[in-house]
Protein backbone atom coordinates (compact mmCIF):
# COMPACT_ATOMS: atom_id res chain seq x y z
CA UNK A 1 0.00 0.00 0.00
CA UNK A 2 1.36 3.49 -0.83
CA UNK A 3 2.29 5.54 2.22
CA UNK A 4 -0.15 8.44 2.78
CA UNK A 5 1.63 11.73 3.37
CA UNK A 6 0.91 15.42 3.85
CA UNK A 7 3.71 17.53 2.35
CA UNK A 8 4.20 20.90 4.13
CA UNK A 9 6.35 23.17 1.98
CA UNK A 10 7.78 26.68 1.46
CA UNK A 11 8.68 26.58 -2.28
CA UNK A 12 11.49 27.19 -2.78
CA UNK A 13 13.40 25.31 -5.48
CA UNK A 14 14.11 22.18 -3.47
CA UNK A 15 10.54 22.13 -2.13
CA UNK A 16 9.39 22.17 -5.77
CA UNK A 17 11.52 19.11 -6.51
CA UNK A 18 10.13 17.44 -3.37
CA UNK A 19 6.57 18.01 -4.63
CA UNK A 20 7.44 16.49 -8.02
CA UNK A 21 9.16 13.51 -6.38
CA UNK A 22 6.33 12.80 -3.93
CA UNK A 23 3.63 13.07 -6.57
CA UNK A 24 5.47 10.81 -9.02
CA UNK A 25 6.28 8.05 -6.56
CA UNK A 26 4.06 4.94 -6.54
CA UNK A 27 5.20 4.36 -2.95
CA UNK A 28 3.47 7.60 -1.89
CA UNK A 29 -0.16 8.69 -1.74
CA UNK A 30 0.10 12.50 -1.64
CA UNK A 31 -3.01 13.50 0.31
CA UNK A 32 -2.35 17.24 0.43
CA UNK A 33 0.22 19.97 -0.05
CA UNK A 34 0.21 22.65 2.64
CA UNK A 35 2.20 25.85 2.41
CA UNK A 36 3.96 27.94 5.02
CA UNK A 37 5.93 31.20 5.08
CA UNK A 38 9.62 30.43 4.84
CA UNK A 39 11.80 30.83 1.79
CA UNK A 40 9.43 33.59 0.82
CA UNK A 41 6.21 35.12 2.15
CA UNK A 42 3.14 32.91 2.33
CA UNK A 43 1.46 34.39 -0.77
CA UNK A 44 4.62 33.65 -2.77
CA UNK A 45 5.24 30.14 -1.43
CA UNK A 46 1.59 29.31 -2.00
CA UNK A 47 1.58 30.67 -5.56
CA UNK A 48 4.77 28.70 -6.22
CA UNK A 49 3.21 25.46 -4.99
CA UNK A 50 0.27 26.07 -7.32
CA UNK A 51 2.65 26.92 -10.19
CA UNK A 52 4.64 23.71 -9.75
CA UNK A 53 1.47 21.60 -9.65
CA UNK A 54 0.06 23.44 -12.65
CA UNK A 55 3.27 22.91 -14.65
CA UNK A 56 3.34 19.20 -13.72
CA UNK A 57 -0.36 18.62 -14.31
CA UNK A 58 -0.99 17.75 -10.66
CA UNK A 59 -4.72 18.53 -10.30
CA UNK A 60 -5.85 15.96 -7.76
CA UNK A 61 -3.94 17.13 -4.69
CA UNK A 62 -5.45 19.90 -2.53
CA UNK A 63 -3.15 22.85 -1.86
CA UNK A 64 -3.94 24.79 1.32
CA UNK A 65 -2.16 27.87 2.63
CA UNK A 66 -1.09 27.95 6.26
CA UNK A 67 0.64 30.31 8.65
CA UNK A 68 2.01 33.52 7.24
CA UNK A 69 4.57 34.11 10.00
CA UNK A 70 6.39 32.26 12.78
CA UNK A 71 4.75 31.71 16.18
CA UNK A 72 6.89 34.22 18.05
CA UNK A 73 9.85 35.69 16.18
CA UNK A 74 9.82 38.09 13.25
CA UNK A 75 9.53 36.57 9.78
CA UNK A 76 12.65 36.02 7.71
CA UNK A 77 12.84 34.88 4.08
CA UNK A 78 15.62 33.49 1.86
CA UNK A 79 15.42 35.74 -1.18
CA UNK A 80 19.21 35.51 -1.47
CA UNK A 81 18.84 31.82 -2.30
CA UNK A 82 15.41 31.46 -3.92
CA UNK A 83 14.95 34.94 -5.38
CA UNK A 84 12.23 37.57 -4.99
CA UNK A 85 9.49 35.24 -6.26
CA UNK A 86 10.82 32.32 -4.24
CA UNK A 87 11.13 30.27 -7.43
CA UNK A 88 13.30 32.35 -9.75
CA UNK A 89 14.59 30.71 -12.91
CA UNK A 90 11.58 29.30 -14.73
CA UNK A 91 9.10 31.64 -16.43
CA UNK A 92 5.43 31.25 -15.60
CA UNK A 93 2.71 32.71 -17.81
CA UNK A 94 -0.67 33.58 -16.35
CA UNK A 95 -2.36 32.18 -13.28
CA UNK A 96 -1.80 28.51 -12.39
CA UNK A 97 -4.71 26.25 -13.33
CA UNK A 98 -4.59 24.62 -9.89
CA UNK A 99 -6.96 26.24 -7.36
CA UNK A 100 -6.21 27.11 -3.77
CA UNK A 101 -8.14 25.00 -1.28
CA UNK A 102 -10.23 27.34 0.93
CA UNK A 103 -9.28 25.51 4.14
CA UNK A 104 -6.42 26.78 6.31
CA UNK A 105 -3.49 24.36 6.16
CA UNK A 106 -3.60 23.76 9.90
CA UNK A 107 -7.29 22.86 9.72
CA UNK A 108 -6.69 20.55 6.74
CA UNK A 109 -3.82 18.78 8.52
CA UNK A 110 -5.99 18.28 11.61
CA UNK A 111 -8.99 17.18 9.53
CA UNK A 112 -7.04 14.56 7.57
CA UNK A 113 -5.27 13.19 10.64
CA UNK A 114 -8.42 13.01 12.78
CA UNK A 115 -10.24 11.16 9.99
CA UNK A 116 -7.37 8.69 9.60
CA UNK A 117 -6.57 5.47 11.41
CA UNK A 118 -3.02 6.61 12.19
CA UNK A 119 -1.47 5.74 8.83
CA UNK A 120 -0.48 9.26 7.67
CA UNK A 121 3.07 10.61 7.69
CA UNK A 122 3.88 14.32 7.77
CA UNK A 123 6.74 15.53 5.56
CA UNK A 124 7.58 19.14 6.44
CA UNK A 125 10.26 20.74 4.27
CA UNK A 126 9.98 24.30 5.54
CA UNK A 127 9.63 26.04 8.90
CA UNK A 128 7.51 23.97 11.31
CA UNK A 129 4.93 26.66 12.04
CA UNK A 130 1.96 24.78 10.53
CA UNK A 131 2.91 21.50 12.21
CA UNK A 132 3.43 23.12 15.61
CA UNK A 133 0.17 24.99 15.31
CA UNK A 134 -1.71 21.82 14.33
CA UNK A 135 -0.31 20.00 17.38
CA UNK A 136 -1.47 22.84 19.65
CA UNK A 137 -4.79 23.26 17.81
CA UNK A 138 -5.69 19.60 18.27
CA UNK A 139 -3.43 17.51 20.56
CA UNK A 140 -5.51 14.43 19.70
CA UNK A 141 -3.66 14.30 16.36
CA UNK A 142 -0.39 13.28 18.07
CA UNK A 143 -1.09 9.52 18.23
CA UNK A 144 -2.55 9.76 14.74
CA UNK A 145 0.74 10.84 13.14
CA UNK A 146 2.52 7.70 12.03
CA UNK A 147 5.89 9.44 11.52
CA UNK A 148 7.35 12.85 10.69
CA UNK A 149 10.15 12.94 8.10
CA UNK A 150 11.41 16.52 8.03
CA UNK A 151 14.13 18.52 6.38
CA UNK A 152 15.77 20.76 8.94
CA UNK A 153 18.49 21.23 11.49
CA UNK A 154 22.08 20.11 11.68
CA UNK A 155 24.34 18.63 14.32
CA UNK A 156 27.18 20.89 13.24
CA UNK A 157 27.23 24.25 11.55
CA UNK A 158 24.05 25.97 10.46
CA UNK A 159 23.46 27.69 7.14
CA UNK A 160 21.79 30.85 8.44
CA UNK A 161 23.94 31.44 11.52
CA UNK A 162 26.98 29.45 12.64
CA UNK A 163 24.52 27.50 14.81
CA UNK A 164 21.18 27.34 13.03
CA UNK A 165 19.70 25.90 9.85
CA UNK A 166 17.04 27.97 8.05
CA UNK A 167 13.88 25.89 8.61
CA UNK A 168 14.47 25.59 12.34
CA UNK A 169 15.75 29.16 12.78
CA UNK A 170 12.69 30.70 11.11
CA UNK A 171 10.47 29.23 13.83
CA UNK A 172 12.37 27.58 16.71
CA UNK A 173 9.35 27.66 19.00
CA UNK A 174 7.31 25.64 16.51
CA UNK A 175 10.22 23.28 16.04
CA UNK A 176 10.43 22.78 19.80
CA UNK A 177 6.74 21.76 19.89
CA UNK A 178 7.35 19.21 17.13
CA UNK A 179 10.63 17.79 18.47
CA UNK A 180 9.15 17.46 21.99
CA UNK A 181 5.85 15.99 20.75
CA UNK A 182 6.89 12.36 21.12
CA UNK A 183 5.87 11.66 17.52
CA UNK A 184 8.41 9.39 15.76
CA UNK A 185 10.64 11.78 13.85
CA UNK A 186 13.36 11.49 11.21
CA UNK A 187 15.52 14.60 10.85
CA UNK A 188 17.16 15.12 7.45
CA UNK A 189 19.61 17.83 8.40
CA UNK A 190 22.35 19.64 6.54
CA UNK A 191 24.95 16.90 7.03
CA UNK A 192 22.67 14.60 5.05
CA UNK A 193 21.32 17.05 2.49
CA UNK A 194 24.74 18.40 1.57
CA UNK A 195 25.48 14.90 0.25
CA UNK A 196 22.83 15.59 -2.43
CA UNK A 197 24.46 18.41 -4.36
CA UNK A 198 23.02 18.93 -7.85
CA UNK A 199 26.37 19.30 -9.60
CA UNK A 200 26.54 20.12 -13.35
CA UNK A 201 26.66 16.42 -14.31
CA UNK A 202 23.47 15.83 -12.31
CA UNK A 203 21.71 18.80 -13.88
CA UNK A 204 22.77 17.41 -17.26
CA UNK A 205 20.87 14.18 -16.46
CA UNK A 206 17.67 16.23 -16.20
CA UNK A 207 18.51 18.12 -19.41
CA UNK A 208 19.12 14.83 -21.22
CA UNK A 209 15.51 13.82 -20.56
CA UNK A 210 14.41 16.37 -23.19
CA UNK A 211 10.96 16.60 -21.59
CA UNK A 212 9.01 19.62 -20.33
CA UNK A 213 9.51 18.66 -16.68
CA UNK A 214 13.15 17.82 -17.30
CA UNK A 215 13.64 21.30 -18.73
CA UNK A 216 11.64 22.78 -15.82
CA UNK A 217 13.97 21.06 -13.37
CA UNK A 218 16.99 22.41 -15.25
CA UNK A 219 15.62 25.97 -15.14
CA UNK A 220 15.06 25.71 -11.39
CA UNK A 221 18.36 24.01 -10.62
CA UNK A 222 20.44 26.40 -12.70
CA UNK A 223 19.12 29.39 -10.74
CA UNK A 224 19.46 27.47 -7.45
CA UNK A 225 23.05 26.60 -8.45
CA UNK A 226 23.87 30.25 -9.14
CA UNK A 227 22.78 31.45 -5.71
CA UNK A 228 24.43 28.56 -3.85
CA UNK A 229 27.65 29.20 -5.74
CA UNK A 230 27.52 32.90 -4.87
CA UNK A 231 26.40 32.53 -1.24
CA UNK A 232 28.14 29.34 -0.19
CA UNK A 233 30.74 28.58 -2.90
CA UNK A 234 29.12 25.18 -3.57
CA UNK A 235 29.73 23.34 -6.84
CA UNK A 236 26.07 22.33 -6.81
CA UNK A 237 22.96 23.31 -4.82
CA UNK A 238 22.01 20.73 -2.17
CA UNK A 239 18.61 19.23 -2.95
CA UNK A 240 17.61 19.41 0.72
CA UNK A 241 13.89 18.74 0.74
CA UNK A 242 13.58 15.69 -1.51
CA UNK A 243 15.77 13.74 0.93
CA UNK A 244 12.93 13.84 3.46
CA UNK A 245 10.62 12.38 0.80
CA UNK A 246 13.24 9.80 -0.21
CA UNK A 247 13.30 8.46 3.36
CA UNK A 248 9.54 7.83 3.12
CA UNK A 249 9.89 6.14 -0.28
CA UNK A 250 12.72 3.87 0.82
CA UNK A 251 14.17 4.21 4.32
CA UNK A 252 17.11 2.00 3.30
CA UNK A 253 18.32 4.92 1.14
CA UNK A 254 19.06 6.94 4.28
CA UNK A 255 21.09 5.70 7.25
CA UNK A 256 19.93 7.12 10.56
CA UNK A 257 21.13 7.18 14.16
CA UNK A 258 18.85 7.63 17.19
CA UNK A 259 19.74 10.66 19.29
CA UNK A 260 18.32 13.11 21.79
CA UNK A 261 17.67 16.45 20.09
CA UNK A 262 16.67 19.71 21.73
CA UNK A 263 15.83 23.01 20.04
CA UNK A 264 17.57 26.09 21.44
CA UNK A 265 14.97 28.83 21.98
CA UNK A 266 16.69 31.02 24.58
CA UNK A 267 20.35 31.50 23.71
CA UNK A 268 21.54 34.68 22.04
CA UNK A 269 24.10 33.23 19.64
CA UNK A 270 22.84 29.67 19.14
CA UNK A 271 19.12 30.48 18.93
CA UNK A 272 17.39 28.02 16.58
CA UNK A 273 20.09 25.35 16.89
CA UNK A 274 19.17 21.66 16.86
CA UNK A 275 21.29 20.45 19.76
CA UNK A 276 21.98 16.86 18.68
CA UNK A 277 23.43 14.53 21.34
CA UNK A 278 24.94 12.15 18.76
CA UNK A 279 27.31 10.59 21.34
CA UNK A 280 24.62 10.19 24.03
CA UNK A 281 26.54 12.34 26.50
CA UNK A 282 23.38 13.22 28.43
CA UNK A 283 21.71 9.80 28.45
CA UNK A 284 18.36 11.41 27.63
CA UNK A 285 15.55 9.75 25.63
CA UNK A 286 16.41 9.47 21.95
CA UNK A 287 13.50 11.37 20.40
CA UNK A 288 14.87 11.64 16.86
CA UNK A 289 16.26 9.42 14.12
CA UNK A 290 19.04 11.65 12.79
CA UNK A 291 19.83 11.00 9.13
CA UNK A 292 23.54 10.54 8.64
CA UNK A 293 24.27 8.92 5.26
CA UNK A 294 22.51 9.08 1.90
CA UNK A 295 22.82 6.45 -0.82
CA UNK A 296 23.64 9.21 -3.30
CA UNK A 297 23.56 7.24 -6.58
CA UNK A 298 20.18 5.72 -5.68
CA UNK A 299 18.87 9.13 -4.63
CA UNK A 300 19.70 10.70 -8.01
CA UNK A 301 18.35 7.71 -9.91
CA UNK A 302 15.13 8.14 -7.91
CA UNK A 303 15.00 11.90 -8.52
CA UNK A 304 15.74 11.73 -12.27
CA UNK A 305 13.37 8.80 -12.67
CA UNK A 306 10.60 10.73 -10.97
CA UNK A 307 11.00 13.72 -13.28
CA UNK A 308 11.21 11.40 -16.30
CA UNK A 309 7.94 9.76 -15.25
CA UNK A 310 6.00 12.93 -16.12
CA UNK A 311 6.69 12.09 -19.74
CA UNK A 312 7.00 14.16 -22.88
O1 LIG B 1 18.11 25.01 5.02
C2 LIG B 1 17.50 24.47 3.87
C3 LIG B 1 16.02 24.52 3.97
O4 LIG B 1 15.61 25.88 4.03
C5 LIG B 1 15.32 23.94 2.74
O6 LIG B 1 14.08 23.40 3.12
C7 LIG B 1 15.09 25.14 1.86
O8 LIG B 1 13.98 24.98 0.98
C9 LIG B 1 14.79 26.19 2.90
O10 LIG B 1 13.42 26.04 3.25
CA1 LIG C 1 12.03 24.20 2.04
Tell me, in angstroms, the distance from the centre of ligand 1 to residue 283's CA. 30
Mapping DSSP onto H, E and C, the string for 78-141 reads: CHHHHCCCCCCCCCCCCCCCCCCECCCHHHHHHHHHHCCCCCEEEEECCCCHHHHHHHHHCHHH
Number of H helices, E strands in the chain: 12, 9
Q: How many CA atoms lie within 13 A of 240 on its CB side?
A: 29
* Residue 91: pLDDT band with limits 50, 70, 90: very high
**256 — phi, psi (to 5°)?**
-130, 160
Dmax (CA) for the chain in angstroms is 55
For residue 213, what pLDDT is reported? 98
Average pLDDT on 79-100 reads 95
pLDDT at residue 87 above 90? yes
pLDDT at residue 302 above 90? yes
Measuring CA to CA, how many Å separate 16 from each of 224, 242, 252, 298? 12, 9, 23, 20
Tell me, in angstroms, the distance from the centre of ligand 1 to residue 240's CA. 6
**10 — phi, psi (to 5°)?**
-135, 60
Tell me, in angstroms, the distance from the centre of ligand 2 to residue 56's CA. 19
Please name which of 242, 283, 225 lies closest in space to residue 125, comparing C-alpha atoms: 242
- Rg of the chain over Cα atoms, rounded to whole angstroms, equals 18
For residue 94, what pLDDT is reported? 86
CB-based contacts of 287, cutoff 8 Å, min separation 6: 179, 180, 182, 185, 260, 261
What tens digit of pLDDT does each residue of 210-252 get? 999 999 999 999 999 999 999 999 999 999 999 999 999 999 9
Compute the CA torsion angle 294, 159, 162, 190 (nearest 10 deg).
-10
Measured from the CA of 14, which atom of ligand 1 is nearest?
Answer: 8
- Which residue out of 48, 161, 241, 291 has the highest number of ligand 1 atoms within 8 Å of its CB and is therefore the one to mutate? 241
What tens digit of pLDDT does each residue of 130-181 get? 999 999 999 999 999 999 999 999 999 999 999 999 999 999 999 999 999 9
Indicate whether residue 45 lines ligand 1 (CB < 6 A): no
What 134-140 contacts at long range (C-beta under 8 Å, 24+ apart), as own/partner pairs, is 134/106, 134/109, 134/110, 135/177, 135/178, 135/181, 136/177, 137/106, 137/107, 137/110, 138/110, 138/113, 138/114, 140/114
Count other Cβ atoms within 10 Å, centred on residue 281: 8
Report which DSSP code applies to 238: B
Please name which of 256, 258, 236 lies closest in space to residue 303, comparing C-alpha atoms: 236
For residue 312, what pLDDT is reported? 87
Number of domains in the chain: 1
Strand arrangement of the beta sheet that strand 28-35 belongs to = 63-65, 28-35, 3-9, 120-124, 145-151, 185-188, 288-294, 254-263, 274-277
Task: Determine contact, residues 229/222, Cβ cutoff 8 Å.
Answer: no
pLDDT at residue 290 above 90? yes
For residue 22, what pLDDT is reported? 98
Q: Whose CA is nearest to atom 2 of ligand 1?
A: 166
What tens digit of pLDDT does each residue of 177-218 get? 999 999 999 999 999 999 999 999 999 999 999 999 999 999
Range of the domain at 79: 3-308
Indicate whether residue 165 lines ligand 1 (CB < 6 A): yes
What tens digit of pLDDT does each residue of 258-280 get? 999 999 999 999 999 999 999 99
CB-based contacts of 233, cutoff 8 Å, min separation 6: none
Indicate whether residue 35 lines ligand 1 (CB < 6 A): no
CATH number at residue 146: 3.90.245.10
Amino acid sequence: MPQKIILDVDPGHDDAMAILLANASPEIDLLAITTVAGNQTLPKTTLNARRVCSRAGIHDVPIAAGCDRPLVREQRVAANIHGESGLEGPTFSGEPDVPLDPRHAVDLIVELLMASDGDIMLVPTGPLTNIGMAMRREPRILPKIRHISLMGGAWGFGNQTPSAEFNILVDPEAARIVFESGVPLTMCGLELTHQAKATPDIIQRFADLHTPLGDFAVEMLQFFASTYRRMHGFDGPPLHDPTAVAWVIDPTMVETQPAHVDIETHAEFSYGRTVVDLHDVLGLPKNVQVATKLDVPRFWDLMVGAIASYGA
